[in-house]
A = this chain, B = another copy of it.
Amino acid sequence: MIRILIADDHHLLLDGLSQALGRIPDFEVAGAAATVEALRTLAPDILPDVLLVDIEMPDGSGLSALRDLGAGHRAVIMTMHADDEHRNRARAVGARAFLSKATPLPDVAATIRAVHAGESLIDADDPDAILDRYREPSLGPDADSLTAREREILALLARGISGTADIADELYISHKTVKNHLASIYEKLRISDRTQAAVEAIRLGLGPS
């Protein structure tokens, strides 16, 4: 679970990005700041794993706040003005990555994972090559031991196909087999019934859409 603090004065982006990143199973948005002031206050308090900060904010620059926070942070800078001037200033305050606001969401997620893992993308020769290594759909840590069939059943639960017979019909297998798969799902996710399984399935991103 990567704990993130987002700072951006545009609420539209701040709120949207918070929800979008929060939906990704291995991310947790630990805080959101709309001002540099809030960033300075929140960061030492919640100690996020990765900072995602905008440069331009009405009450100052996100970069100055980063400098003051010291070298202990792992920060991703995002800005509308993705030029070398800004990039150099970001590098100077110890930022690990530098993104334009035109970057697609999956790339941002991969960047955050890379920075969390200790990579520095801001002066990398081939940033895309690094990003590709962190691009996994990344279900939660609990989910990696699930088999394909088990995920399939979880996906059905997340769609509201809850009866054993309904699941069996959907997959063209015996209802006994469905119950076997469910039992191993319960064990792996440390839960005890299909309602909790449906909740977990949705949380893990196995739901529709």
Contacts and interface: CB of A to CB of B under 8 A. Distances in A.
Interface of A: 9-13, 15-23, 34, 78, 80, 99, 101-105, 108, 157-160, 162-163, 191, 193-200, 202, 209
Classify the interface of chain A: helix, strand, loop or mixed.
helix
A199 B160 contact: yes
B12 A105 contact: yes
Given A10-B101, A104-B11, A195-B195, A202 B200 contact: no
B11 A15 contact: no
Contact of A17 (B12, B99, B102): B12
- 9 nearest A-B pairs in the assembled complex, by CB-CB distance: A16-B16, A15-B105, A162-B195, A16-B17, A19-B20, A10-B101, A16-B20, A11-B104, A195-B195
Given A19-B105, A160-B191, A195-B197, 6 more contacts: A11-B102, A12-B101, A12-B102, A13-B101, A159-B199, A195-B198
Contact of A199 (B10, B99, B102, B198): B198
B11 A13 contact: no
B16 A105 contact: yes
Contacts of A198: 195, 198-199
B162 A103 contact: no
A15 B20 contact: yes
Contacts of A104: 11-12, 15
A106 to B, nearest CB: 8
A166 to B, nearest CB: 10
Contacts of A16: 13, 15-21, 105
